[in-house]
Amino acid sequence: MSEATATLGVPTGNVRSERAFWKESLAPYARPHLGHSTADILTSVVPYFGLSVGMYFLLDVSYLLTLVVAVPAAGFLLRTYIVFHDCAHGSFLRSKTANLWLGRFVALLVYTPFAAWRHSHAVHHATSGDLDRRGVGDVPTLTVSEYNAMSRGQRLGYWLFRNPMVMFGIGPMWALVVQPRLSKGTERGRIKHSVQLTNLAVLAMVAFLCWAMGWQEFLLVQLPTAWLAGAAGVFLFYVQLQFEDAYWENSGTWSYA
């Protein structure tokens, strides 16, 4: 451990039970504030709806203009995902019930089952950086020795997964449209029900919008917005966990703090 790290008060023992020394510093910023939460909704969900409607009417004018508006619309959809994320943490509103129902509503806008994602994201936070508990809510990451032990075909697959064309081309549609629709047979009933009920609700929402505006118009409006928002989200998530000196330890020496 460096002198600078020790000076910052970073605990020297890497054990799971170690106190999260930074929690006290962050606590004042982790309390829900109704004014801030309202402002977040007014600068995420509301403009996303407004710009989506605007894109629909611009289809009769110019699809190029529609694509131009898709850029800010995607930004507001990404902000909507952040609202969804904070509701999953139970930190967006003071009421647990309010977080739950707002999260379920916003979940439809981002095509993601709330309860299932909340569970996997909690597991992700509880295991992030633990080499022996990888695989939930993270980007597949190998050690050098693991990579060297792979066959040439496996290395190619690992390389392709991290290739920008795949990660930011196919990745957004997989992360937003395909993966959230799936559940493992070994998962708890509550998690399966979350996925199944969300799938039904999303199907009903998409069917209604296709009936109201036409399926082609729906795709022309929604696809570019979802793809751009998904690509930006994948990028942000990737760079938060993949960088020089990112923290990785085996379970015996891993520390939550």
DSSP notation for 168-198: IIIHHHIIIIIGGG---TTS-HHHHHHHHHH
Is the pLDDT assigned to residue 10 strictly greater than 50?
no
**pLDDT category of residue 19 using cuts at 50, 70 and 90:** low
**pLDDT category of residue 18 using cuts at 50, 70 and 90:** low
> What is the Cβ-side half-sphere exposure of residue 30, based on CA atoms within 13 angstroms?
8
Instruction: Parse the chain into domains and list their residue ranges.
Output: 31-238
**pLDDT category of residue 170 using cuts at 50, 70 and 90:** very high
| Predicted local confidence at residue 5, as pLDDT | 40
Residue environment code for 55-88, b if the CB has 16+ CB neighbours within 10 A, otherwise e: bbebbeeeeeebeebbeebbbbbbbbbbbbbbbb
Specify the DSSP class assigned to residue 249.
Answer: B
**pLDDT category of residue 183 using cuts at 50, 70 and 90:** confident
Q: What is the tens place of the pLDDT at every residue in 212-240?
A: 999 999 999 999 999 999 999 999 989 88
Specify the DSSP class assigned to residue 29.
Answer: G
Helical packing angle, 114-127 and 96-109, nearest 10°: 100
Closest C-alpha to 33, from 92, 121, 116: 92
Record the tokens describing residue 25, joined without a space: 């510093």
| Predicted local confidence at residue 257, as pLDDT | 80
Helical packing angle, 63-88 and 45-58, nearest 10°: 160
Q: What is the tens place of the pLDDT at every residue in 40-62?
A: 999 999 999 999 999 999 999 99
Q: What is the tens place of the pLDDT at every residue in 194-215?
A: 999 999 999 999 999 999 999 9
Helix (H) or strand (E) holding 160, with range, is helix 152-162
Record the tokens describing residue 252, joined without a space: 């015996």
Name 14's Cβ contacts closer than 8 Å, sequence gap at least 6. 249, 253, 254, 255
| Predicted local confidence at residue 8, as pLDDT | 40
Closest C-alpha to 109, from 87, 90, 92, 91: 87
Q: What is the tens place of the pLDDT at every residue in 101-147?
A: 999 999 999 999 999 999 999 999 899 999 999 888 888 899 999 99
DSSP notation for 68-118: HHHHHHHHHHHHHHHHHHHHHTT-SSS-HHHHHHHHHHHHHHTT--HHHHH
On whether the CB atoms of residues 177 and 226 are closer than 8 A, the answer is yes
| Predicted local confidence at residue 197, as pLDDT | 95
**pLDDT category of residue 15 using cuts at 50, 70 and 90:** low
| Predicted local confidence at residue 16, as pLDDT | 55
Q: What's the average model confidence in pLDDT over 51-79?
A: 97
Cα–Cα distance measured from residue 237 to residue 117, given in angstroms and rounded to the nearest whole number: 15
